[in-house]
Amino acid sequence: MKIFLLEDDYLLNKAITQYLTSKDFVVSSFYNGAEAISAIADDFALMILDIDVPDINGISVLEEIRKLYPSKPIIMISATTDIDMISKAYEKGCNDYMKKPFDIQELKFKIRALTQSVANSITILEGLEYTVVDQRLLYHSREIGLTPKEKKLFHVLVENKGRTVSMELLERAIWGMNGDAIHLRQLVARLRKKLPENTIENHTGSGYCIL
């Protein structure tokens, strides 16, 4: 299971990383908000964000994550006792908050609880199911082979099921800052050929949607 960690305290970052790695998690750690935002991706099972970090604070990073992944489990960590800041973190979509210092074993328990609460599979339409944890797409129990970029595209659309995802957000989720509309349309066209008809809707001028 892959974990995203934003923590600017070097020793704490290393301690969390080493502990979670010893528990068979794969941890990608970051020390400032700008670096973290550039690394946001759909293959992280859970995000851990410190609030007070350099360049871009953890609340802003949280907002960027929520634009792409409305249901991604996120734990905020901070030494702050400012109730307004804690309230803002919850308003912006965090799932849990831990005040420093904390017992690192408690962090493990919260990670397990949040990731286990995510549904194992989502029914897209009759016969078509998507497994959240390992990102497999099944049609009448037979797996549909997807390329890495097709997986990213489909995962973001499923995360936002019922809502139109803008082309700009999809481009960024798949290619970072180097995406473009032509490549996105080509990718959507290839993915559609592998799916039942009308799985992905095109909202002209706005983006794409799975209902």
Digit-coded pLDDT (tens) for 196-211: 988 999 988 789 999 8
Q: Please state which CATH number belongs to domain 2-117.
A: 3.40.50.2300
Determine which of 29-43, 59-73, 112-126, 158-172 has the lowest per-residue pLDDT on average: 112-126
**Record: fold of 121-209:** Arc Repressor Mutant, subunit A (1.10.10)
Q: At 203, which helix (H) or strand (E)?
A: strand 201-203
- What value does the mean pLDDT take over residues 117-143? 79
Quick check: 190 and 152 in contact, CB under 8 A?
A: no
User: Looking at residue 120, what is its pLDDT?
Assistant: 65
Stretch(es) of the chain classified as CATH 3.40.50.2300: 2-117
Specify the amino acid at residue 91.
E
Quick check: 160 and 166 in contact, CB under 8 A?
A: no
pTM of the model: 0.66
Stretch(es) of the chain classified as CATH 1.10.10.10: 121-209
Q: How far apart are the C-alpha atoms of 192 and 196, rounded to whole Å?
A: 8
Best CA proximity match to 49, nearest among 105, 94, 10: 94
Quick check: 7 and 77 in contact, CB under 8 A?
A: yes
